[in-house]
Structures are given as structure tokens and as C-alpha cells.
Amino acid sequence: MRTKKINLANLPTPIEKLNYDYNVYVKRDDMTGVEISGNKVRKLEYLVYDAINKNAEVLITCGGIQSNHARATAVAAVKKGLKSHLFLACDDDVITQGNVLLDEIYGAKITILTHTEFENINDIMEKERIEYEKQGVKAYVIPLGASNGLGNLGYIGAFDEILEYERENGIKFDTIVCTVGSGGTYAGLWLGNHLTNSEKNIVGINVSQSAEYFKEVISDIANDTLKILGEKYSVKKEEINIIDGFVGRGYALSKPDELEFIKKTIIKTGIVFDPVYTGKAFRGMIKTLDSSPDLLIDNKESNVLFVHTGGLFAVFARTEDFK
């Protein structure tokens, strides 16, 4: 059983081969759209359908100040005639640039929280939903990164697209690598692999927290999806494959060698990788292929597919870093 969704993304996204010593391909989920580009739109197709179905008028969600997910939600709201209310974490003065500039242009209501306040974000969003309700307005809470049982369905869809591409092009991807920020992209890809008995190696590279943390989170939300689908199977955290070690200084913080890697990679591939997500994960993948390839592939002929999850607008908030 597959639940319903609305259409917000340009699908299927293209896949292209890159020029590396290994067979590295990229699925361009940075091309799911323009204003609403990136991975969150696949999840929002399910969550916004659910919100509309429940007669919601306001979408409440959250993220960092340069959240791609919050921006995608603000755009999705406008496209569907809804309002959005974004809770964004920022300890400094807000500079209206990159994603948050778009949030404002798209008319999102923005509430800034300190990172300490943000630790209780789920309670804060739920309280806000009740506030709206008191005023007779139905609001719908979308969790961080749109990563929950329903949102994960978006990346089961992406996995199906990958299988379709394989059939049409006579190629087989042995390993799929994605960035792990809140876990929904990985969860969906893992579930797609599991539900189709595809036996690919699904590998996540975390850009915050730790591998242990995400094994827990991902198995939980993957199990929520299996319940929605009416599947009996229960995912154990040992089945989740996350390569740790590329978070660097922390979430959304960069080191000079990471930025240097990103600049070189942009020039080598022609594709923009962002410093928060895809740049760190792609670096992690290339470094792992160089230092311990057996963590990713069986041999040099293996085909590796990196899912590029977007993040372009956040780059425009990092002009100093890229100088």
C-alpha cells in the first residue's frame, strides 16, 4: 500500500557519471525544482498532502537559520495556498540572505529561537499548534527535516526511480550513498532497498550527531513507515549503515580543508556541493573510497551512486567562506 501525495517536484531527477578513479554517479536531487529544490520536497509531497487532507491552513516547521527544509516548506505553502510558520535556530543577529531571504520573500512567519531554546523544539511547535487552534486555525506540524514515517515515503519513491533508471540504462548500482542530517532520506532509501529485495549497500554519512545516534533515530522512523505501509517487518539499528567521522567542527560549521575540497569538487564536477550537507558527505565518500574502499564497495568495478540532496541557497549565505 502506498499513501497519497501531491506533486511538487520535477521527477525523475537525472543521474550522471562523474570523472573519478571509481565508478561514481550522482543522482541530482538538487534538481527536484528551483525554488523548492533539494530532498525535502520529496518528503513534503506526502506531508503537505496529509496537511491539506486534514484541512490545515498553516504549516509549522523548524530548522537552522539557513534551513533548506524550512525554505522548501515556505515555498510549498505558497504553492498550495497555505501559510507557513518557521521556527529557526540562530544565536546571532539574523542576516537576511540565502534561504532565510527566500523564507521572508515567500511570506513565512518566522520565529527565531536560540540553540538552547531549540532543544525543546517539538514541544514549542506543538504549543504553537494549540495556540493556532485556540484562534480557530488548523495548523499542521512538520518535524525537523520532514523526517518521519510519512516523509520517508518520499525516498522510497526515489529508490524506485533508481531501479527504473537501472532497467532503462542497463546498469546496476551496488552502493547508494546519501547525507544524513535528520535521517529521512537514508530511511526511505533503506526501506526502498528492503521492500524490493534489492540487496544494495545503502550507506549514510552523518553531518551532525554520531552514527550511533542516527542508527537509533533512523530505525525508529523507518519502523513508523513500515507501520504506515502495513508491513510486519521491524528494522533493527544494526541494519543501518552509517559512516561517521566527517562531521568536522559540528553541524553547519566548516574547516578550511572541507571548504577547499568543496571548491575543488565544484570545479572538477561542475556541480555545486554545499558546506553543510552534501559537501561533507561527498568528501566523506571520496575519502572513504581512497582510504578504505571495502566499507563502500566490493571492487573497483562497483558502481556507486551519490544522492545529491541540494543545498544551493545555503551557499549564498557563506560568501566569506568561499572567498
Query: Least CB distance from residue 301 to ligand PLP, whole Å?
Result: 28
The site map against ligand PLP for 56-75 (x = CB under 6 A) is ------------xx------
Does 184 bind ligand PLP (CB under 6 A)? Our answer is: yes
C-alpha span between 89 and 114 (Å, rounded):
5
How far apart are the C-alpha atoms of 199 and 71, rounded to whole Å?
34
Taking the CA of residue 194 as centre, how many other CA atoms within 13 Å lie in the half-sphere pointing to its CB? Answer: 22
Does 148 help bind ligand PLP (rule: CB under 6 A)? no
Scanning the structure block, which residue is given the C-alpha cell 521527477? 11
Find the shortest distance in angstroms from Cβ 137 to ligand PLP: 27
Does 274 contact ligand PLP by CB under 6 A? Answer: yes
> Does 89 engage in binding with ligand PLP (CB under 6 A)?
no
By CB under 6 A, tell whether 277 contacts ligand PLP.
yes
Which residue's entry shows cell 556507486? 304
Segment interacting with ligand PLP (CB under 6 A) among 95-103, 126-134, 180-188, 262-270: 180-188
**154 belongs to the binding site for ligand PLP (CB under 6 A):** no
- The binder of ligand PLP chosen from 32, 66, 179, 193 (CB under 6 A): 179
Can you spell out the DSSP letters for 177-207?
EEEESSSHHHHHHHHHHHHTT---EEEEEES
Query: Alpha-carbon distance 181 to 151, whole Å?
Result: 14
Q: Are 69 and 40 in contact (CB under 8 A)?
A: yes
Instruction: Establish whether 67 is a catalytic residue.
Output: yes
Which of 12, 145 has the CB closer to ligand PLP? 145
First to last CA, the chain: 50
Pattern of binders to ligand PLP over 278-317, x per CB under 6 A?
A: x------------------------------xxx------
> Phi/psi at 15 (nearest 5 deg)?
-120, 135
CA–CA dist 29, 188 (Å, integer): 14
**Shortest distance in whole angstroms from residue 54 CB to ligand PLP:** 23
Residue positions annotated with a catalytic role: 67
The binding site for ligand PLP (CB under 6 A) comprises: 38-39, 68-69, 145, 147, 179-186, 274, 277-278, 309-311
